[in-house]
C-alpha cells in the first residue's frame, strides 16, 4: 500500500470501487443505489458555466504591483503610495471569439487587472488600446451584436461590422488601431494595457484629479501580420496560453511600467476635447505621463477554471482615493459587470476564492444561493440589520469621495454633436511609416471582403476625412485584393465579391 489519499464521495465517505458499476449480475442492469455513478454523471453535466458574453477566451496569471513613484499628493489610495506592493491578478482576452476561439485572431485584447488591496479589491478592466469603439453605452449591445454571429447564418458578418462602424464615425480611432500592427500582438507580454477611461484620484484634502492609467510593456511591442497569424492558428489555437503560461513557468516574469496622466478639474473645463470621451486619448504633449511603478506577473494559476474562468472583474470595484468619472460608458460598466457575474457565476461570486478580497469583509447582505459565510462576517448573530445597537459594522466617512459639481438640463444629448472624430486618428495615421500604412490598408481591405459597395463607400468617405492617403490606400488594397470597383455610371458603389 502507498500513502496516496483515499478517493471519497463529495460527502467524504471512501469510494470502494471507481472502476466497476454496481449491477445485478455481471451483465447488468445497473443498481439505482450506485450513487457514485449518479454523482459522476450529474457532476459532468454541470462542468460548464455560461461563457462571458464578451471576452470569453482568456489567459491569466498572478503578480505584484510595486509603486516607486510618488503621487501621494493626488491620491490617498494606500496601494498607490510610494513603496506599496500589492498582490494582483491579470486576465487577458480577445473580445469577440468564443471560449474555443483561436488566440491569434485580429481583435482588441482585454487587459483586466484585480488588485487585492488592504482597502478592498480595485479592478481596472481595460484593453490593450487607449480608446474604444463607442462613446455612448446605448451602443454597446448593438456593437457587440455586429462582432458576434449573425442570427441566421450563425457566422460572423463583415457586412454587419462595417455597416455599424461606417454609421458610427466615433469608432474610427479604435478601428485604425485594431487594423494597425497593434491589432495582432504576438502574445499578452508584448502589448501595452490601458485603463482607457478617465478615472479619478482624490486625496485626504478632498481634492479630485482626473487620471488615465497606462501599462507599458517592458518586453517591447511585437506583432504578427495576418498571414503569420493564420500560419500559427494552423499549428496551434492556444498560442497565447502557451506563451503566457510557459514564460511564467520558466521563471521569466513579464513586466509592465505603470504610468498615469493627470488632469486637474480646472484643466478639464478647458480642453479642446471632452476628457471623458472614451474615443479620445489625452495627448502626451499636453498631459505628460508620470511613471509610478511596475507590474510583474510571476505565478500561474493552479486551476484554470477555478481561478481564471471564475475570475470576476468589475469597474465598480474601486477603493478610497480612486473614483470613477462622468464618462457615460464607464458609468454603464459600473452596473453591467457585477450583473454579469451574478448571472454567470452566482449571487455570491465574491465568495469564490479568486474574487475574495484579502481584507476583512463586513456587510448586511443575507442568505442567497451558494452563500459560504452567512450573511455577515461580524461574528455577531444579532447584527443582521443596520442601524443597530449591538456593535454591528458601521460606515467609514473618510471613504467618502469629494463632491463633484454637476450641472445641466436632463436630456438625451446627441453624443455625435460637435465631436471631432478625425483629428486623433489622423495623428495616429501620421505616425505610421509607409510599411505600417501599407499593412493598415491591406488589413482593412482583407476585413472588408464581401461587404456591399454602399457600406464600403461610406467607410471610405470617413477614411478620407482622416487623410486622403488613408482612403486612397484602402481603395487600392480593395481593388487589388477583391477587384473592387466603384460603378461610376450609376454612381452606385458596387463590390466584386
Report, as residue numbers or ranges, the catalytic residues: 55, 127
* Part of the chain binding ligand NDP (CB under 6 A), chosen from 94-102, 409-417, 420-428, 475-483: 420-428
Residue 216 interacting partner from ligand NDP, ligand HEM, none (CB closer than 5 to 8 Å by kind) = ligand NDP
Judged by beta carbon, residue 195 or residue 453, the one nearer ligand NDP is: 195
Nearest residue (CB) to ligand HEM, 132 versus 215: 132
| Phi, psi (degrees; rounded to nearest 5) at 6 | -80, 130
109-117 and 85-94 beta bridge pairing? antiparallel
**Minimum distance between the CB of residue 330 and ligand HEM, rounded to whole angstroms?**
8
Considering only residues 130 through 149, tell me which ones interact with ligand NDP, judged by CB under 6 A. 130
Nearer Cβ to ligand NDP (3/433): 433
Look at residue 313 and give the partner it binds from ligand NDP, ligand HEM, none, a contact being a CB closer than 5 to 8 Å depending on partner kind: ligand HEM
Pick the closer one to ligand NDP by CB: 264 or 492: 264
Q: Which positions lie near ligand HEM, rule CB under 6 A?
A: 52-55, 58, 91, 93, 110, 112, 125-127, 132, 137, 140, 196, 278, 311-313, 329, 332-333, 336-337, 340-341, 344
Q: Which does 177 bind (CB under 5 to 8 A by kind): ligand HEM, ligand NDP, none?
A: ligand NDP
427 belongs to the binding site for ligand NDP (CB under 6 A) = yes
Q: Among 67, 201, 281, 292, which residue interacts with ligand NDP (rule: CB under 6 A)?
A: 281
Residue 283 as a binder of ligand NDP (CB under 6 A): the answer is: yes
Q: Tell me: is residue 337 an annotated ligand-binding position.
A: yes
Q: Is 218 in the site for ligand NDP (CB under 6 A)?
A: no
Residues comprising the binding site for heme?
Answer: 337
Which spans of this chain sit near ligand NDP (rule: CB under 6 A)? 130, 177, 180-182, 192, 216, 281-285, 424, 427-428, 431
Amino acid at each position: 500500500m502507498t500513502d496516496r489519499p483515499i478517493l471519497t464521495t463529495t460527502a467524504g465517505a471512501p469510494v470502494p470501487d471507481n472502476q466497476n458499476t454496481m449491477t445485478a449480475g455481471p451483465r447488468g442492469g445497473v443498481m439505482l443505489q450506485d450513487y457514485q455513478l449518479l454523482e459522476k454523471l450529474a457532476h459532468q453535466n454541470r462542468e460548464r458555466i455560461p461563457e462571458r458574453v464578451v471576452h470569453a477566451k482568456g489567459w491569466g496569471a498572478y503578480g505584484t504591483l510595486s509603486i516607486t513613484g510618488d503621487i501621494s499628493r493626488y491620491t490617498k489610495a494606500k496601494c498607490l503610495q510610494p513603496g506599496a506592493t500589492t498582490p494582483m491578478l491579470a486576465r487577458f482576452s480577445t473580445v469577440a471569439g468564443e471560449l474555443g476561439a483561436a488566440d491569434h485572431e485580429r481583435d482588441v485584447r482585454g487587459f483586466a487587472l484585480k488588485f487585492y488591496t488592504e482597502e478592498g479589491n480595485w479592478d481596472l478592466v481595460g484593453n490593450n488600446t487607449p480608446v474604444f469603439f463607442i462613446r455612448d453605452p446605448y451602443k454597446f449591445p448593438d456593437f457587440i451584436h455586429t462582432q458576434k454571429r449573425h442570427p441566421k447564418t450563425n457566422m460572423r458578418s463583415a457586412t454587419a461590422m462595417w455597416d455599424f462602424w461606417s454609421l458610427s464615425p466615433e469608432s474610427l480611432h479604435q478601428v485604425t488601431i485594431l487594423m494597425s500592427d497593434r491589432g495582432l500582438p504576438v502574445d499578452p507580454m508584448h502589448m501595452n494595457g490601458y485603463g482607457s477611461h478617465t478615472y479619478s484620484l482624490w486625496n485626504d484634502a478632498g481634492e479630485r484629479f482626473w487620471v488615465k492609467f497606462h501599462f507599458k510593456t517592458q518586453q517591447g511591442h511585437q506583432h504578427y501580420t495576418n498571414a503569420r497569424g493564420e500560419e500559427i492558428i494552423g499549428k496551434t489555437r492556444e498560442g497565447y496560453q502557451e506563451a503566457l503560461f510557459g514564460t511564467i513557468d520558466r521563471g521569466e516574469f513579464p513586466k509592465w511600467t505603470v504610468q498615469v496622466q493627470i488632469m486637474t478639474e480646472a484643466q478639464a473645463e478647458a480642453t479642446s476635447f471632452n476628457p471623458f470621451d472614451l474615443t479620445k486619448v489625452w495627448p502626451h504633449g499636453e498631459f505628460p505621463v508620470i511613471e509610478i511603478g511596475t507590474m510583474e506577473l510571476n505565478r500561474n494559476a493552479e486551476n484554470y477554471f477555478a481561478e481564471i474562468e471564475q475570475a470576476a472583474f468589475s469597474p465598480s470595484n474601486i477603493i478610497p482615493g480612486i473614483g470613477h468619472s462622468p464618462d457615460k460608458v464607464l458609468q454603464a460598466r459600473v452596473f453591467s459587470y457585477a450583473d454579469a457575474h451574478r448571472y454567470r457565476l452566482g449571487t455570491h461570486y465574491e465568495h469564490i476564492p479568486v474574487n475574495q478580497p484579502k481584507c476583512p469583509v463586513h456587510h448586511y447582505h443575507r442568505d442567497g444561493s451558494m452563500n459560504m459565510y452567512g450573511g455577515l462576517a461580524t461574528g455577531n448573530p444579532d447584527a443582521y440589520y443596520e442601524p443597530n445597537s449591538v456593535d454591528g459594522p458601521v460606515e467609514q466617512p473618510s471613504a467618502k469621495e469629494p463632491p463633484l459639481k454637476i450641472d445641466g438640463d436632463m436630456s438625451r444629448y446627441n453624443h455625435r454633436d460637435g465631436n471631432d472624430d478625425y483629428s486623433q486618428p489622423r495623428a495616429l495615421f501620421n505616425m505610421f511609416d509607409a510599411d505600417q500604412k501599407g499593412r493598415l490598408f491591406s488589413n482593412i481591405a482583407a476585413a472588408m471582403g464581401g461587404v456591399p459597395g454602399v457600406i464600403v463607400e461610406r467607410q471610405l468617405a470617413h477614411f478620407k476625412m482622416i487623410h486622403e492617403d488613408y482612403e486612397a490606400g484602402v481603395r487600392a488594397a480593395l481593388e487589388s485584393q477583391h477587384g473592387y470597383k466603384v460603378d461610376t455610371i450609376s454612381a452606385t458603389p458596387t463590390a466584386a465579391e
